[in-house]
Structure 1
Amino acid sequence: MKIGLKWIVSFSIIALVAIGGLFWNPSSDTVNTGEFLSEDKIVGADVAWILAAAGLVLLMTPGLSFFYGGMVGKKNVISTMLQSFIALGVISILWVVVGFSLSFGDSLGFTLNGIHYGIIGNPLSYPFFSRVGVLPHHQMASTIPFILFALFQMKFAVITPAIITGSFAERVRFISYLLFIVLFCLFIYTPLCHMVWHPEGLLNKYFGVKDFAGGTVVHMSAGFAALAGALVVGNRKNPHHEPSNIPYVLLGTGMLWFGWFGFNAGSALSASASAATAFGTTTIASASAMMTWIFFDRINGRSVSALGACIGAVVGLVAITPGCGFVTIQESLFIGFITAIVSNVMVNWKALKKFDDTLDVFACHGVGGIMGMVLTAIFAHGEKASLLHGGVEVFLHHMVALILVSAFTFFGSLLLYKITDSMITLRVSEESENRGLDLSQHEESLM
């Protein structure tokens, strides 16, 4: 089998990274005592919960692979599942080398009226996880080891590009996909993560964006990147297919729902009342969206299906993510209900169907993330008042931030797809597409 230069280059990069870590200057690991707290500030209960939560969030990526894999045609099950699963390898390594620094390193940005607003982290803050040790960080993780915080956040970075894969399933080259998710993580995810979740981040500090667990950082960014991907890669030659394995979809949904408790309740970064609130609202919003989806389908003359129930449940999980720690159970019930209707309408909207978003990633994750951001700005309780509690300014800031995030993630991703395509062609040949990506890309088959 002929081995292309791109594969040799890719292997060489991995080898250099692996070896380079061994020779990183140990003096760069010196701890700045003003940045970290003493070890006696660690709270054992918080450590135990975030360890568990990190494991739950990791489980979501294999869950997503089953969720997507069951929806595609039989010729593309393995390739679709692998595109999700491989992110555990690619993004984890990238996160250790530079991703965590870009997301949570010292803020690089601009100063306005004497106040600094961060756009992205300094790549030299924590390269190769230097200075990421067992001491708690005084701003970002004051009761758990900093390394646990870094690993917990890594799982969010892993699943975000994996979500995008559903939009261009069945027609993208594997090596091109690897390059794209590296670029996406470096130039879309990390600056957005820094701006929303870093204490000095622009969207956090200036706009006051309330994103408890990633509705903006994860789902909106993935949703708009998915829409851009569907536009750039183009429609499939045969866009109509039967889902290959509905039980896979059910299994994947169960794994996602289970893992989402770590995703949302874990984002409290403590074993606390806030975590308990997020746990409860996550459950109820998803249940509400699932039931709303299947009844709305039936009212519109469609069958009550297992696929619909699963999609509805995931839409509810997406919608509650930004506000899960800020809203009540009653409000989460409504958030799941209204988002399921809006997302269902978008999934079946003929105008959107012209773009071959294979698994409706934008209509579910993009629209779900938008709805979550808007509804959080309406209902959220807490320090920064939402619209229903007199916080008109917070609501308006959320709307402006929504426009900025949408534009940044869509047009930024569009540019990255173009760059990727210019380096390594994104789309497989017509012959490979007809043959199926399982065989043409990986020489593996379910048959």
Structure 2
Amino acid sequence: MFDQGNTAYVLITAAMVLLMTPGLAFFYGGLVKAKSVISMMMLSFGAIGLIGVLWVLYGYSIAFSNSGSGNFVGIQGWFGIDSTLFSLNALVDQAHSATATGYPTIAFAAFQATFAIITVALISGAIADRAKFGAWMVFAGVWATVVYFPVANWVFNLPVKGVGGGWLAHMGLIDFAGGTAVHINAGSAGLALALVLGKRVGFAKGAYKPHNPPFVMLGAGLLWFGWFGFNAGSELGADGTASLAFINTLAAPAAAVLGWLIIEKLRDGKATSVGAASGAVAGLVAITPACAALTPFWGMVLGIVAGAVCCLAVDLKFKLGFDDSLDVVGVHLIGGIIGTLFIGIFAYQGSVGLIYGGGFKQLGIQALGAISVMVYSFVLAFVIGWIIQKTMGFRITNEDEIAGIDTAVHGEEGYVLLDERV
């Protein structure tokens, strides 16, 4: 018999993580112009449909294959492909058999499916206002197959008694809930797509205002709620480690809100609602890999640093000339890097952090993980996006962008204030 408490915990936290993607749809939807809200939200819901199916067909089998040897050699060690491909259905046969984990493996597969979905959806913020829905769906399916599923294998597929598992996990990378596999991965892909699709019409600082800040705050609230499942749920059991991850998921983003608003007030003279919501997300991103490795004090330090740095980083797109529409790079890539490297200095878990006498070894492993995922994701996302752009076309026309992508692509409007039939 399974531990019903642990099984319930895994399933409930999986549902919480799935809610993050509709929450992201609200967050992103409020940030774009009114004529793009349907398109923006559809990119997230499209990811739910497509990646959910691909995960069941073969995504889980790649990400959590038993093939990884830990020696980094061969396609099996890198991509996790072996005889388990297309075998998630085999887990049904184990659903009533006791295991050492206390929960059925298929519950874990369901939990990890929601990670794959939100990671793909995060990328869409970089190409808001100008991407074709069909092209996005093609990109999402290919990128998930050749980037996310293998990278999840590198990071999340843990060795068993020092044998097997993904190569980064085997090396000792600390990434409790996805700073590399989720946020650096998505942020790097977002940067690549922003470069492939080019700038929006009239791109300039201050040219685009969020059309619905209440949507942004609602989305941030749903994300924060789901993030407790994301981080604490990654322990896969209701215990002390989950409790530490939970309090850090409260403390770090709370501090990040303050960090973002302080910079915003000093720089612009006003603290905004969108800034508060963005600060919370930046803190959540940064604490994701570190939530079980830091004391709450260092969690708050990480939060305030991430909030301040990410607030400054979002302006890089204007200085460097790339149009990352909704700051996927500034928040997710930069925030993910900060949180991943912070572990190497301040992690008390196993006394591996530099200040706890662990030396520079863990910091080096964290840097290797961040750089490896960043380069791999960026290069492949750029190639996939470029091929789609040159074949079926990824970007809508300038005319459709100006007229409104919602009506041009989906034949719908986000807001109908007057019924023309009356």
TM > 0.5 between the two? yes
RMSD: 2.0
Moved over 6 A (4+): none
Are residues 1:44 and 2:4 paired?
yes
Confirm or deny that 1:321 pairs with 2:271: no
The one-letter code of the counterpart of 2:223 is: L
Cα drift, residue 421 of structure 1: 2.1
Amino acid at match of 2:392: I
Alignment match, 1:12? none
Equivalent of 1:186 in 145, 150, 154: 145
| SS of structure 1 residue aligned to 2:155 | helix
Q: Which residue of 2 aligns with 1:237?
A: 201
Within 5 Å, give how 1:110-121 maps onto structure 2: 111=71, 118-121=77-80
Q: Counterparts of 1:167 and 1:112 in 2: how far apart (Å)?
A: 32
Specify whether residues 137 and 282 from structure 1 end up closer, same or farther in structure 2 by C-alpha distance, changes over 3 A only. Answer: farther
Aligned mates of 1:136, 1:432 — CA distance in 2: 55
Of residues 208, 213, 216 in structure 2, which corresponds to 1:246?
213
Structure 1 match to 2:419: none
| C-alpha contact (below 8 Å) 1:319/1:371 kept by paired residues | yes
- Is the Cα contact below 8 Å between 2:70 and 2:166 reproduced in 1? no
| 1:429 aligned partner | 397
Alignment of 1:374-385 (within 5 A): 374-383=341-350, 385=352
Tell me the equivalent position of 1:441: 409
Matched, 1:92 2:37: no
Counterpart in 2 of 1:278? 245
Task: For residue 84 of structure 1, give the secondary structure of its aligned residue in structure 2.
Answer: helix
Distance 1:170-1:128 versus aligned 2 partners, 3 A rule = farther
Instruction: State how many pairs are aligned.
Output: 403
Matched, 1:205 2:170: yes
**Aligned equivalents of 1:112 and 1:440: distance in 2?**
47
Contact conserved, 1:96 with 1:129, CA < 8 A, in 2?
yes
Describe the superposition over 1:371-421 as per-residue Cα deviations: whole angstroms up to 9, x where unpaired. Answer: 010011212222371222222211112112222221111112111112222
Measure how far apart 1:135 and its partner are. Answer: 5.2
Q: Using a 3 Å threshold, how does the CA distance of structure 1 residues 443 and 411 change in structure 2: closer, same or farther?
A: same
Once residues 195 and 443 of structure 1 are traced to their aligned partners in structure 2, the CA distance between those partners, rounded to angstroms, is 41
Structure 1-normalised TM-score?
A: 0.86
Q: Which amino acid aligns with 1:233?
A: L
Gaps of 5+ in 1: 1-39
Pair 331,116 (structure 1): closer, same or farther in 2 beyond 3 Å: farther
**Identity level (%):** 38
Contact 1:110–1:117 at 8 Å: present in 2 too? no
Q: 1:408 aligns with which of 376, 379, 403?
A: 376
Q: Which residue of 2 aligns with 1:419?
A: 387
Partners of 2:183 and 2:336 within 8 A in 1: yes
Determine the C-alpha separation between the residues in 2 that align with 1:90 and 1:173. Answer: 16
Distance 1:225 1:136 in 2: 40
Instruction: Please report the TM-score for the alignment, with normalisation by the length of structure 2.
Output: 0.91
Q: Distance in 2 between matches of 1:137 and 1:187?
A: 33
Q: Is the CA contact (8 Å cut-off) linking 2:23 and 2:222 kept in structure 1?
A: yes
Distance 1:177 1:116, change over 3 A: closer
Consecutive unaligned residues of structure 2, counting only runs of 5 or more, are: 159-164, 417-422
**Match of residue 298 from structure 1:** 265
Match of residue 29 from structure 1: none
CA shift digits 1:233-291 (9 cap, x unpaired): 00011332221111101110110000000000000011111111101000000100001
